[in-house]
Amino acid sequence: MKALVKHPDTVGLALEDVPVPEPGPDEVLIRVLTTGICGTDLHIYEWDEWARTTIPAPMTVGHEFSGTIESLGSNVSGFFVGEMVSAEGHVVCGQCRNCLAGRRHLCKQPKGLGVNIPGAFADYVVVPKTNVWRHVEGIDPEVAALFDPFGNAVHTALSFPVLGEDVLITGAGPIGLMAAAVVDHAGARNTVITDVNTFRLGLAAEMGRSRPVNVLDESLEVVQKELGIVEGFDVALEMSGAPSALADILANTIHGANVALLGLPSEPYSIDWSTVIFNMLNIKGIYGRQMYDTWYKMNVLIQSGLDISPVITHRFEAEEFDAAFAAIKSQESGKVLLSWN
């Protein structure tokens, strides 16, 4: 089969012929249809220090995908050959305190598909049966391939009640854009999404009724006045990892605001902790998806009419992977997909 393999000591990936993986007794073999490229994959492609110290190269990478079940291990029941699935990309240990208590998203030592174990940028991928997620019937395979990052968006966006609230989202990358769509769908009064990237702010304007703000051109204080927000945003979702974005959140939220942080900063930075304390802010870190509450919510959000497909801006065949990575690096992109048909 074809697979995108990361080799040590070189930048980039190689499309190679490798053996189709064999599912073990508790595993499922999936025929991959569509994959999404994540920021994590770009780190791996560029072979930066994090990637060099993390990825057991040579290895097939990739973790965002949809596909159909090809075959089942001997201990697997409840799934059927041919049905459309994705997979939770965090393979949990099952033995730590949180796993045993049913809080699998808080596992002490999760393994990442396409990061620590062979991934989905291939014609076939094997995953444990406990990681397989069945999609609703009739779902677009491209939308199904977004469920990993869509899950980050849903987990973050629904961390706090948003009905009737004014919500600030900092960062209009694919996850921020999807989070804005979720918050709108969930009944926020105002959704404001900030970035410095005009292409992505344009996508935000196309995707729904959120108010895009380029923080280089506009002040959030003025935007608040325009929207009739009197005491600051009630909920803030930080999706960029930029220190200035968290500073904007501290300066523009109501006392007691709920703040969720998903964007990964590239290095440690300082913030004004006095504002956190005096304004009694509630700050929560988010990583991955809740297993499997977030996945359930994704299914029903799609069924209830939420359309996340406008976040997809580029589609490539697997052979065109270099062009796909170039599209991500250009920053003039939303979600970039690779097809394995």
By beta carbon distance, the residue nearest Zn ion is 107
Of 99-107, 116-124, 175-183, 184-192, the window that binds Zn ion (rule: CB under 5 A) is 99-107
CB atoms under 10 Å from CB of 57, counted, come to: 16
Which region among 96-104, 232-240, 259-267, 281-289 touches Zn ion (by CB under 5 A)? 96-104
- Give the shortest CB-107-to-Zn ion separation in angstroms: 3
Is residue 198 annotated as a catalytic residue, yes or no?
Answer: no
The site for Zn ion, by CB under 5 A, has a size of: 5
CA distance 44 to 132: 24
Q: Which of 43, 54, 130, 275 is catalytic?
A: 43
Decide: 273 and 147 in contact? Cβ < 8 Å.
no
Q: What 3-state class would DSSP assign to 317?
A: strand
Residue 93 in the binding site for Zn ion (CB under 5 A): yes
Q: Which of 76, 99, 172, 298 forms a contact with Zn ion (CB under 5 A)?
A: 99
* Region of residue 228 (phi > 0: left; psi between -120 and 50: alpha; otherwise: beta): left
Nearer to Zn ion, 290 or 333 (CB): 290
Closer to Zn ion by Cβ: residue 1 or 96: 96
CA atoms within 13 A of residue 286's CA, in its CB half-sphere: 30
For 135, the token pair is 């999609």
96 contributes a contact to Zn ion by CB under 5 A: yes
Binding mask of the shown chain, residues 102 to 121, with x at each position contacting Zn ion by CB under 5 A: -----x--------------
Q: Is residue 40 flagged as an active site residue? A: yes
Active site residues: 40, 43
Residues that bind Zn ion (CB under 5 A): 92-93, 96, 99, 107
